[in-house]
């Protein structure tokens, strides 16, 4: 029970920051979608970049194996976004991960913009994927925020020194990472099976 109780206590103690980060994350996602609708060339350029770097080919190659696809989605979300974009930068420069994620959120919105019938139908089930995965990222963003604040202003977490504040901030990240990890597992499994079995029926339906 402590695995659930402690993260909830952290969220309650910084509820204002948690709600603000939710607004920023989902708001920037919607901003990216709006930009994609207003400027279709942005959507084309973003999806074209995915084709060029091999992401699209990787997805296509995994569509025949839903569990392998889910494992790949989970690995990408953990490595490329949770660690490389949010947590690791924040360990070096306070709040840096929040800024990097902001760019990712806008770019994601551009990618999933419903520019035609196929993408509109795909967005129906995929919107739940986005909600689940972004909530995991918000938990990590909250951890990055607490770390940065505790590092720069250790008194906010009842720490005597910045080093002590940094350590306590890391502890908060560790607790918040547990539910974030669970959400990323759920999101990866749902995304894999929905893209393989549900989206084709909606698009061709």
Identify the pLDDT of residue 190.
97
Element (H, E) at 102: helix 96-111
Please give the Cα distance from 56 to 170 (Å, whole number): 35
Average confidence (pLDDT) per 10 residues, the chain, 205 residues: 88 97 98 92 76 67 87 96 97 97 96 88 92 98 97 91 95 97 97 92 79
DSSP string across 14-77:
THHHHHHHHHHHHHHHHHHHHHHHH-HHHHHHHHHHHHHTTHHHHHHHHTT-HHHHHHHHHHHI
Q: Calculate the dihedral angle through the C-alpha atoms of 176, 124, 104, 102, rounding to the nearest 10 degrees.
A: -70
What pTM value is reported for the model? 0.93
> What pLDDT, on the 0 to 100 scale, is given for residue 113?
92
C-alpha 108/C-alpha 42 separation (Å) is 11
Q: Which two tokens stand for residue 29?
A: 């996602």
pLDDT at residue 200 in the model = 87
φ/ψ of 153, rounded to 5, equals -130, 75
| Size (the chain), residues | 205
């Amino acid at each position: 029970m402590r695995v659930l109780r402690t993260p909830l206590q952290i969220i309650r103690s910084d509820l204002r920051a948690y709600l603000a980060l939710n607004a920023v994350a989902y708001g920037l996602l919607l901003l990216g979608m709006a930009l994609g609708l207003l400027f279709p060339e942005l959507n084309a350029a973003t999806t074209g970049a995915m084709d060029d770097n091999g992401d699209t080919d990787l997805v296509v190659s995994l569509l025949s194996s839903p569990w392998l696809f889910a494992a790949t989605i989970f690995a990408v979300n953990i490595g490329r976004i949770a660690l490389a974009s949010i947590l690791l930068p924040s360990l070096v420069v306070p709040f840096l991960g929040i800024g990097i994620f902001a760019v990712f959120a806008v770019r994601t919105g551009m990618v999933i913009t419903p520019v035609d019938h196929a993408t509109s139908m795909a967005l129906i089930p995929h919107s739940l994927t986005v909600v689940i995965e972004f909530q995991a990222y918000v938990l990590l963003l909250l951890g990055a925020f607490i770390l940065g604040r505790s590092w720069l202003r250790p008194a906010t977490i009842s720490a005597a020194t910045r080093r002590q504040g940094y350590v306590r901030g890391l502890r908060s990240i560790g607790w918040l990472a547990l539910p974030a990890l669970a959400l990323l597992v759920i999101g990866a499994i749902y995304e894999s099976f929905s893209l393989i079995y549900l989206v084709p029926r909606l698009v061709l339906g």
